[in-house]
Amino acid sequence: MSAIFYLLAVITLAGGLATVLLKQLVHCALAATVAFAGLALLFLQLDAQFAGFAQILVYIGAVAILIVFAILLTHGSHMPKDGVFSRSWALGLVIAAGVFAILGWAVLAGISAVPRQNAPPSATVRDIGEALVGRYVLPLEIVALLLTAATIGAVVVAMHEKASPR
């Protein structure tokens, strides 16, 4: 466990916590971007270069921008009068803490079974490309179809409603 891992973990988790806790929606979006960037750096730390750069491109480049656009289009920068947390926030906190307790217990209980440090695997972009058009070609096509459908669906859903008689 290197110091870099702890630093990146702290950055990622602080970004996540700030996302959930900050009041201004724009600040939430910025904190989420920090968390996404921390995760991308963790991927790079795990020798998964392709996944790390895909994370940067997709999340910081696209999803964060989408979120900011959605905040602008829904006038989310106005502060709500009666707080940003729902009435049942305590229940949500309890559920989240319970889920973390179970997951953490599972990890710590299985700590003797997890593999030790091994040599960093080599996954060049060439390997990944050959796997994508070889063994994983069907999932690749399905994802292409899904992205097309999602693009059309997002446009259709967010288009102006026709003026309907009330």
Residue 157 Cβ vs other proteins, minimum distance, rounded to whole Å: 4
Based on the shown chain and the rule CB under 8 A, indicate whether residue 59 belongs to the binding site for other proteins.
yes
Q: Where does residue 47 fall: left (phi above 0), alpha (psi -120 to 50 degrees), or beta otherwise?
A: left
C-alpha dist (Å) from residue 67 to 27, 61, 101, 141: 11, 11, 30, 27
- Residue from 87, 138, 162, 163 touching other proteins (CB under 8 A): that is 87
Cβ proximity of 140 and 133 under 8 Å = yes
- Residue from 4, 7, 58, 137 touching other proteins (CB under 8 A): that is 58
Based on the shown chain and the rule CB under 8 A, indicate whether residue 165 belongs to the binding site for other proteins.
no
Residues of span 8-37 touching other proteins by CB under 8 A: 9, 12-13, 16-17, 19-20, 25, 28-29, 32, 35-36
- Residue from 4, 7, 77, 92 touching other proteins (CB under 8 A): that is 92
Based on the shown chain and the rule CB under 8 A, indicate whether residue 163 belongs to the binding site for other proteins.
no
Read off the amino acid at residue 45: Q
Residue 124 Cβ vs other proteins, minimum distance, rounded to whole Å: 11
- Residue from 34, 37, 41, 43 touching other proteins (CB under 8 A): that is 43
Based on the shown chain and the rule CB under 8 A, indicate whether residue 1 belongs to the binding site for other proteins.
yes
Q: Cα(97)–Cα(41) distance, rounded to whole angstroms?
A: 26
Cβ proximity of 92 and 86 under 8 Å = yes
Based on the shown chain and the rule CB under 8 A, indicate whether residue 4 belongs to the binding site for other proteins.
no
Task: Give the burial class of 138: count Cβ atoms within 10 A of its Cβ; 0-12 exposed, 13-18 middle, 19 or more buried.
Answer: exposed
Q: Cα(18)–Cα(125) distance, rounded to whole angstroms?
A: 34
- Residue from 4, 7, 99, 125 touching other proteins (CB under 8 A): that is 99
